[in-house]
Amino acid sequence: MFPSFTGSSRKPRRVDLSGRKSTPQNKQIPGLSTQSYQHSSALLLAQQQRAKREAERKELEAVKTIQRTWRGKSDLSRIRTIWRSVWDNKYGRQLAGRKVRDIAEATSAIRLFLAFFDRTWRSGRLLKRIGPRQPGDDLQRLAVLVEALTVSNGSMLHPHLISPSINFQDFFTLHRFVALLLSTIHQSSSASSQLVIIILHLIAELPIVALSVIEGRGFSFSTLEIISPTYYQTLSHLTSASSAHSNPELRELLLRCLLGPLSVIPLPESVRSSLPTNTAVYRAFSRFYLTTPSLGECLGPDTLEILASKIHIGVLTRAVLENLEEGDQISRTTSLRSRRLEQKETSSNKAAEDRNLWLLAYIIFFFRKNSRNVTSRSRQDGNSYIKCITLLFGDAANDVGTRIDLEDQEMSGSGISNDPLQMSYDYENEMDIDGDGSASQRKVPLPGFIKQELHTLIDQPSISSLLSGTPSIMQISGQTSEGVEAQLLASYALTLLLVFPKQIQELRMWLYLASTSDGVPAVRYLWEAVKRAKLFADVSSDVSAAVDSLKKKRKVQTNSESTRGRAELDLTKHQRQYQQYQGAITGKGDKVETGDDDDDWRVILLFLELYSFLLIVMDDEDFFNAGKNNSIGGGEGSRTRDSAPPLKDVMDLTIFLKNLAFAMYWYTGEIMREGQRASVGDIPNGAGVGDANTDADELEVAGVKGMGFSYVKGLVTNLLRMVYLRDSRRRFLPQNHWLMTSRFDMEGFIPAVVAEEENRHKLEAEEEENEPDSQEFPGQVDSRFQRMHKHRQRQQKNHHLAAVAPRLEILQHLPFFIPFDTRVQIFREFVSVDQRRRRGGNTDPDAWRAIFFSGRRRHGDAHGDAHTALSKHHATIRRESVFEDAFTEFYPLGDGLKEPIQITFIDQFGAQEAGIDGGGVTKEFLTSVTKEAFVPERYNLFLENKHHMLYPNPNSIEELREGLREEGLSPAEIDISVADLLNRYEFLGRIVGKCIYEEILVDISFTGVFLLQWSYGKDGGCSVGNGYRPGVNDLKDLDEELYQGLVALKNYTGDVETDFALNFTINSSLTLPNGKSKTITIDLKPNGANIPVTNSDRLTYIHLVSKYRLVNQPRAQINAFLKGLGSIIQPSWLSMFNQSELQTLVGGGDSPIDVADLRRNTVYGGLYVIGDDGVEHPVIQMFWKVMEEDLNDDERRRVLKFVTSVSRAPLLGFGMLYPRFSIRDSGDDQERLPSTSTCVNLMKLPRYNDRKTMKKKLLYAVNAGAGFDLS
């Protein structure tokens, strides 16, 4: 028809260059023939006409549809009106006041009633708006019919309707009628209460009718299919809307209706074999009824108890699991997250979100009431219950954990009882900040019944008996049901740890106390399961296996994904989890291969949690004797020793942890964002760098919400550090076992780390510049956004550093991967870079002073102002009060103490000592401050243990307070004095930091536990996973007697409560300034004086005592000291060392004095200067022979201390000693003793004639304490 059709109907552009007006008829496209143009116009016209005809056709069809529908509706209404008249004439009047005669009359009346009853009124469709409705009249007819179908005032169905002779057609007519009754109850607000009761009577009889028909005729179908799919939905609505608790008849009927379909009536074997299980009924019951809030309040507590006694808990939990498998919404938290995304803020929506929690609480209640003794339940039911609880918590575990301890002020409970375990919880007002840094609505307390039932999960019998029905897997090989049970129990236990964060320590202890049926402790049971896990073997042999496993966990969802997409992902996860544990639930022992290793991760993480707890309460004797003469299964012995893996297994564990930790730190960027690797700074061959804003906790390592990447990293890091500390105290692992140098390019390692530290410093500087002004968020309400902003920035910074600075992260968290000497060099580089940054590129003190003075002048300061600013770094110090004068002069400097200072000493006569401070006097000043301030008898700031190691006096603040109270000072004056005391601790921290900063060794020794807290930072933690966990073993440094007593308590085999008579308190003895003593008692837990210590909770007591003595009691003193230390030395720099290494940093190494190294780095003066021939003076040669051949190491140390004031060598040898070790002559008097100037490390040595005399005079001077004054 159109031979020139080009395939495009678009009208071509018309261009006319003639200047004449053109009409559509005479317009023509240049370059287009007249024929083509005509064809295009014809095509366009045809298309327009076709569209017009199509629109007319659709309009006509719509009119026909409307007319047909209207006619149908009108005809149906007319016919129903006729049928109503027929029904009224035939049955309405006849049945009024009497009962049906037989089944034929009953079914005939029901069929006619079903024919005219207005279904549109029930369905809620739009069509119900068309035409007249008569729901009220129909309800009256329904009441008449129901009365006729029942006897005894509606108490039961008419005998004709429950006769075994009823045929199948009549039975299903009755079924349709009951379905209508259910819908009437559910949707009608005008039905009378009496009608509702009569209908319930009829419904309550239906399940019996169904089973009777099955028994008599052998029909095979589900009971729930008979009674209606909306059965339990209707009962739920009726329960919530009625006052059943005050109406005994209604409550009785509801209970009968609930239990009818759930009951199991004995049937012939031939019929029973053809019936499906009543799991379908339980599925509907759990899905639609057990999600009803406050059943105990609606039905009454007694009714709920009866309901619990009649329910088969095993069938119920398996029904819930089947619902989960098919993705039903009752127990998945997808709806929680989708509603949160939609910003629904009403209380009704919050109640809907809690429906799955109500189901969880009812199942716990039913399980408790079915059997008090957990061991009496079948193993299959127990496994099904545990799996059900785990999956019902699901992703809501974190949310529940934040709400479970909130005070219930407005929400009503169950009507049973209030939560006895409520406690206050310190939440930020108005708005909470989720783990990803986002702000969520204010947390709503859990209802009382839910809270109460959840708390029953964590009582000691419930936790400790988890393994009571499980045999040991230590002698079993291969994948078995016991292995799957370990994974199931791990999932359950990890969920409890998430839901109850405030009881986490008790949960760990009770899990630790659990044992299998044959007596194997839980930790050993889990360890055997871990060793059999494929993931454990793979990661132990190859780091890349850990990286690959963690990559699989990464979420691929983006912010643009729909809620439906999230729901599909969650459905897949729940289906996978359900399938993974079918072997454990059914007892078949078949493991479902899903291509995922979440089950291995769960077992491993639970073992790491419990083993970390075990190391806290375990002393070294049990640790190093684990696996020797163990008494598993009964008998004598320490439980901690029986629980711990033997040392050879600990080595295997550390290999796994090392590889896993290295993967999580070195490949952070690659794990979190594969394919987005980039190079930042000087980071070769290494960690992938991803999006710095990635939320690490989005990666669910074990498939459990809350068990994210950061959690696992922290858990692994802490455990590695605890095992490393054991090994550093007493070596049991091979030399160099901890090093991972083969994984690094060690030649370029130090420059790369320095570059990463520079990037970190720049990042912090940018954060300080971009820190929002407090005025941007005025008022109390807006301060919430400040907290949210800071929290998110902190998370982004941590994630960014983890990705772009992997070496720095490893040095901070896992420093033992790198050799000690390398770390010391890195530390000195950090200090040097910091000095150059602060001092304008110069480290020389005089050059800095010149630059400082000229810089202040260039910026407009007057000469006097610049001089005043510089004079703050100069002080005049009296010899008899070095510490007090130092505190007065230099405390206001703050971190300005990093800069060079100048000291002028005043002797006891008030005269200024001669000399210019070129560094030596500063050294003398710093060492003098430490010698004076750390003397316990003088300032009482620090105490000594029996090994003469120092630790902060934990009673110093309380002793000061009590003394000032006795003097009559006011509380405000006491607080001022306490603040001054803490300022002195802070200043001492700065002094020690200054010594380390300037490489000045001081002869003081601190206890290991105090130094350990330096490594972990202020208040027990610097960053993720680095919290200090006090253990009983650390008490040995502070109180040997208390340590021995706690160990004896732990290993005691008798009745602790009777024999020890302890409670959860601890006494502290205070020595007041006036010499009096006073004892104070501290509660270790609320109302601790009334809580006895028993065999079951003695570990909690031991832990609380250790925590109080090591952390809580000296918290203020330690924090003040660390605040001062951190102002001079970055806490992240100190975290590169363990406690013994930090002591080496402060006072030098404990290795024997290397005389050859000292000789190579000695400077000579006076006659002892080496000449052009390079030969040492004979007296110098004699001196080195005496040092090397005539003196032992202890005597050499005394000589070194005599000259330098420190008996230990510097960290990296005497080449790092500043000023250098120096010797100059002091005459040829043979009776003269050697003398020293310790401020410049100078010894003045007379020219003795023989070695014997030199040795004699040297030792005499050293032992007599001769020094500067004798020179």
Please enumerate in sequence order all residues whose Cβ is within 8 A of that of 540, keeping only pairs 6 or more positions apart, or say none. Answer: 652, 655, 656, 659
Residue 1112 CB neighbours (<10 A): 14
Q: Read off the tokens for 923.
A: 């050294």
Beta bridge partners of 906: 878, 912
Looking at residue 756, its amino acid is E
Give residue 1118's identity as a one-letter amino acid code: I
Residue 585: other Cβ atoms inside 10 A? 26
* Dihedral angle over CA of 724, 728, 732, 736, nearest 10: 80
Q: Is 1037 helix (H, G, I), strand (E, B) or coil?
A: helix
CA distance 896 to 777: 32
- Give 537's contacts (C-beta < 8 A, 6+ positions apart): none
- Amino acid in position 732: F
Closest CA to 1204 of 1252, 1170, 1253, 1153: 1153
CB neighbourhood size of 270 (10 A): 8
Q: List CB contacts of 372: < 8 A, sequence separation 6 or more.
A: none
Asked if 116 contacts 84 with a C-beta cutoff of 8 angstroms, the reply is: yes
Kindly tell me the burial class for residue 342, based on how many C-beta atoms sit within 10 Å of its own C-beta (0-12, 13-18, 19 or more): exposed
- Angle of the 301-310 helix axis to the 248-262 helix axis, nearest 10: 20
**DSSP per-residue letters across 788-803:** HHHHHHHHHHHHHHHH
In whole angstroms, give the CA distance from residue 31 to residue 685. Answer: 64
Contact 1023, 798 (CB under 8 A): yes
The SS3 call for residue 1122 is helix
* Residue 1149 DSSP code: B
Contact indicator for 846, 864 with CB cutoff of 8 Å: no
Residues 6+ apart with CB under 8 A from 213: 164, 166, 168, 171, 219
1069 strand-pairing partners: 1079
Question: How far is the CA of 983 from the CAs of 430, 926, 987, 1010, 1117, in angstroms?
Answer: 36, 18, 6, 18, 9
The structure tokens 């975290």 sit at 1135
Radius of gyration of the chain (CA): 42
In contact, 39 and 2? CB cutoff 8 Å: yes
| Catalytic one of 298, 388, 1022, 1239 | 1239
DSSP 3-state of 440: strand
SS3 1237: strand
How far apart, in whole angstroms, are the C-alpha atoms of residue 1197 and residue 225? 93
CA separation for the pair 1048, 1056 (Å, rounded)? 11
Active-site annotation holds for 1239: yes
Kindly state the greatest CA–CA separation across the chain.
146
| 1118: its two tokens | 């330690």
Neighbours of 1071 (CB within 10 A): 15
The token duo for 1075 is 């010499």
Nearest to 990 by CA among 911, 886, 852, 874: 886
User: Could you identify the residue written with the tokens 């919880």?
Assistant: 425
Do 896 and 839 form a contact (C-beta atoms < 8 A)?
no
Q: Give the residue numbers annotated as catalytic, written as ranges.
A: 1239
